Structures are given as C-alpha cells and as structure tokens.
Structure 1
Amino acid sequence: MLPAFHQQSLKMPAPQNNFKSRLAAGEVLIGAWLGLADPYAAEIAATAGFDWLLIDGEHAPNDLRSILAQLSVVEASGSSPVVRLPMGEDWAIKQALDLGAQSLLIPMVDSAAQAQALVRAVRYPPRGMRGVGSALARASRFSGIPDYLATADAQIWLGVQVETRAGLAALDEILTVEGVDGVFLGPADLSADMGYLGQLDHPEVLAAISDATRRIAAAGKAPGIIWTDEPNASRAIAEGARFVATAIDVITLAGALRRAASAGKALRERVTAGAAPGPA
C-alpha cells in the first residue's frame, strides 16, 4: 500500500486559476497593462494591488523568457497574470501554456472559426490539440503535479480580442463558441478600423463598444476593455464590463517622470530667479 503522503500527491490537480474563478463568480476585476517588459517593473506593479496584470507580448518588447520572468513575479503576488500573445498560432499558445500561463488573451479575432481554433489550441486531446509536453514544463511544476494533464483544461481561461468591424459583425457567432471565456474590446484598433484613427472616444466608436459589451454580457461571457480615463472606465463597468484595465505602466511611468522633470526645472527657476547676485 502506498504511503498516505504519496496517495495525496497522486491527486494533486493543476493550480486554481483565480482570474477565471473570480470572473465566473461575477466579480468586476480591475487591472493594468505591463509593457515595460521587465520583471523588476512587473514586481512593482504586482505590489500595487491590481486584481490582474496583463503581460503584453503584442505591443511590448517581450519574448518567451521575459514573459516567463514576469509571470513568475506576478504569480507570487495577489494579482492574477494574463498573457497576451502577439498572435494565435498553435505553437505560441503551447509554449505560453507550458510556461505556466493559465489566462491567455489573443488579439485580432474576427470569426467564430478563429475562436474555435483557439479553443482547440488551449485544450489537450481529445477535446483539443495542445501538444503534450507537460513532463518537462513549468506548468506541471516539472512533473510535480501528477494530475496536471487531467485537470489543466478546466483552469485555462481564454479571452479573444474583437477589435475590427469584421469582428463586431461576427460577434454573435463568436459568442456561441464554447471555451471562449471572455471577449476584450480594443478601442484603439477598433477606432482605427472604423475610420477614426486615434479617436478612441468618437461617438460612433463608443456606441459600438457599448452595444458589444452588452451583447457579450448577455451571452454569459466576460466583457473586457482598457480605459485609462475615469469617465470611460466608469461607463464600461456600468454597461457590464467585467475585466477592466485602468492603467498602463509605460504611460504611468512616463507621465510621472515628465511631471517630475517639469517640477524640478520650475523649482530651479524659482530658486535661481530669487538668488542674490554674486560678487562683482
């Protein structure tokens, strides 16, 4: 007979995905974008108290190793990590999942067929086509989770980004895809595709986002969005958005440093203007 501790270890499942479970419980989660591509900066953000932090592989200079480093420090905090890949390729999804990412956000999804392919990519056979390499993967704690293969699928959260007119046209079909847990609306790309480049708060863009948010919520999926200004973020939450990013580390740091530089120069001018003239 096996020792009691060994019997318990054989029943060890994949770690619980708190981001997924909290959204499933109906919570509204506030997050931030990590674009500095640095684990030290990610750890600072992870101490700030956000519900979730997105490690951006699409528009930030991240690679697999930098994503791993940031994933490690965010996992150790009270914030849930979400990894955004630059594309929905099967091989990229497989690598991110094997690293231990449990919540993925995939950009530019324009059809139900794309969404279905993504669902297959995050699931093991026979329900999907995720490659089986967990024996050497960080996701299984390097074979330390005996039940990882049997329990991993249930802890994966898949979000798709709808950020074009084609995506909005196909939204109702995308929302029927089982395994898509959330739909993120991208204001920047959507406004550009609608002909309003840089005008994220154009009335037509806002109307399209509001309509889509309500449809996503009505379908039982979690709507998500990023708004760094309070009025738009407030409206999004009121309309049903459930995972909302309200800050971007790059913009927060850049803005704070610019204000500090301006304040320092203003201080210099005040002091030097009031200084007594030196000796003749």
Structure 2
Amino acid sequence: MSGKALKDKLTRGERVFGTFFQHAVCPAVVDFLPPGALDFVVVTAEHNALDVADFLPVKYALNSKGIACLARTHSRDPDDVSKVCDSFDGVVVPYVEEVAHAKALAAAAVYRPLKGRALKRVLDRDEWPSEATKQYVTTVRCADTVFIPMIESPAGIENLDAICSIPGVHAVFVGPNDLTTAMGIPNQYDHPELVALLKKVIDTADRRHVAAGCWFGRTDQMLRTIRQGARLVVYSNDSSMMRDAMAAAFADLRRG
C-alpha cells in the first residue's frame, strides 16, 4: 500500500491498521510480518538515538510488501517535515496544538516545494503561480503524501476542530503518554477522563471527515478505542511485541 493508497483509504472512511518501528532498521525484518496484518508502519526517531535516515532500507522493504511507511519526526519544524516527506510516504509530527503551526506543517508536507511568499499566497488566497504549478504539486509531487499531526495536549484538543479543517490533514493521532501527563493523570490509560476525551477527539475529527486514533500497547485498550470509532489504529511497537511474545511463551515453558 503506497502513501496514496493509504490516503485514499482514509478518505473513503475506512479503518487502517499499523504499528511503530522503534528499533527495527534491518530490512529483512519485513519478511517476518504476517501477510495482511499491516496497512502502514510508523518509523520513529523521537524516543531513541536513531535518525529517520536509518529506517530508509526498511521503508523500501515495506513498500515492496505493499505497506506504507510513515516517519515520526523528533523535530516540529516545517522545513524538517518537508525533508522527511521527500523520502517517506508521509509524516507524523508530535505535539501539535496551535492552528497556525499546524497549517505551516501541513503546507510543508503537501505543498512542497513551495515556500515563502508563493506558499503564503496559496494558503491565504488559493493563488498559485500557475495552473501547471498547482497540478504538479497536488497531483504529482505531493499526491502520495500523508500528513498526520499528533494531538498530545488539552490545548491541541481545544483547537482540534480547526486543525482538522486544514487542507492536507489526513488523520490525527493522540499520544496518550504526553496527553495524560498534561491532564494530571500520567499513564492512566483506562481513566474515565481519558476515555471520554478520546471519544471527543474521534467525534470531532469524524465531523471533518478526518480519521482519528490513539496509540495503545494493549489490545483491550485498542479495541475499546476502535469501538469508539477510531479509524487510525496504531498498536504497540516492534520491541514491545517481541518482549510480550517472549514473556508469554517462556512463562508457559517454565511452568512446564
């Protein structure tokens, strides 16, 4: 599934399933993925010592299996977002909460290589340098790009309707660790306030025809969010799933 195919699936209102790769940089790992399990993978350089470039071999291996590869950046700078989108199928940007910042990030992703005054005229007045430029940017250069801002604060949720109305926002993704910490209930992923807030996020995004979801590392929590209407399903990560599988298997073996 290319970035365009993933974007089209989201636009049609379908649910998509993915996971994080935090440590898997060897492309051979893709051969061990179960067929049909994943629509996309988000490779992340936010919470480790790696750079997104370290995941490029995995990106090409995933694409060969029909799996889209998005990159979560550490940087929240529009120029860095544009650079990432030139190599990956799309970008996931952490901690987006201000509408103006979200517009700049979306523009960097889906209107590249326009910058400066030319980009401002497009954003302010839909005034393109020419029809040829508009067709090149929207149907060639950026047609396959998926842009997903992460909502990780109460301020981001307050601005969510406006963020979801920005052209080029294809989905929104809640980071529960940052959000619950900001709410004063750190890592309480079953807390009624978080559950209610996730429903609000999903419903707000859905009214704008934007997919929404939240990361969880437990299937019961993820299923709860799916039942709330989440269409962007990002479950666990490479190292956590290996740890959980080994812990369960060897616990059984040691019990005899």
**TM-score, structure 2 as length reference:** 0.82
Equivalence for 2:58: 70
Counterpart selection for 1:198 from 187, 193, 197 = 187
Shift of 1:166: 1.2
Equivalence for 2:101: 114
- The alignment of Structure 1 onto Structure 2 pairs a total of residues equal to 235
Contact preservation (8 Å) 1:46, 1:77: no
Say whether 1:98 aligns with 2:52: no
Equivalence for 1:19: 6
CA distance in 1, matches of 2:3, 2:75: 25
Q: Structure 2 vs 1, CA of residues 64 and 212 (structure 1 numbering), >3 Å: closer, same or farther?
A: closer
CA distance in 2, matches of 1:256, 1:20: 31
Output the aligned Cα RMSD. Answer: 2.4
CA distance in 2, matches of 1:256, 1:89: 37
- In the TM superposition, structure 1's runs of 4+ consecutive aligned residues that sit over 3 Å from their partners are 44-48, 126-129, 147-150, 259-267
Q: Structure 2 vs 1, CA of residues 46 and 94 (structure 1 numbering), >3 Å: closer, same or farther?
A: farther
What is the correspondence of 1:61-210 to structure 2 with a 5 Å cutoff? Answer: 61-99=49-87, 101-122=88-109, 123-124=111-112, 125=114, 126-127=118-119, 151-210=140-199
CA distance in 2, matches of 1:76, 1:63: 22
- What does the per-residue CA deviation read over 1:102-126, in whole Å, with 9 as the maximum and x for residues that have no partner? 2211010011111111022122224
Say whether 1:218 aligns with 2:207: yes
- What does the per-residue CA deviation read over 1:70-129, in whole Å, with 9 as the maximum and x for residues that have no partner? 211111113221211112223322331222x12211010011111111022122224479
Contact preservation (8 Å) 1:46, 1:73: no
- What does the per-residue CA deviation read over 1:144-166, in whole Å, with 9 as the maximum and x for residues that have no partner? xxx78961222211110011111
CA distance in 2, matches of 1:250, 1:25: 32
Shift of 1:201: 1.5
CA distance in 2, matches of 1:21, 1:44: 26
User: Percent identity between the aligned chains?
Assistant: 24
Shift of 1:194: 0.4
Q: Structure 2 vs 1, CA of residues 43 and 177 (structure 1 numbering), >3 Å: closer, same or farther?
A: same
**TM-score, structure 1 as length reference:** 0.75
CA distance in 1, matches of 2:224, 2:185: 20
Letter in 1 for 2:145: I
Runs of 5+ unmatched residues, structure 1: 1-14, 130-146, 268-280
CA distance in 1, matches of 2:71, 2:100: 22
Counterpart secondary structure, 2:20? strand
Which structure would you say has the larger Rg?
A: 1
Contact preservation (8 Å) 2:22, 2:44: yes
CA distance in 1, matches of 2:153, 2:3: 33
CA distance in 1, matches of 2:23, 2:82: 24
Runs of 5+ unmatched residues, structure 2: 122-135
CA distance in 2, matches of 1:186, 1:93: 18
Deviation larger for 17-26 or 52-61: 52-61
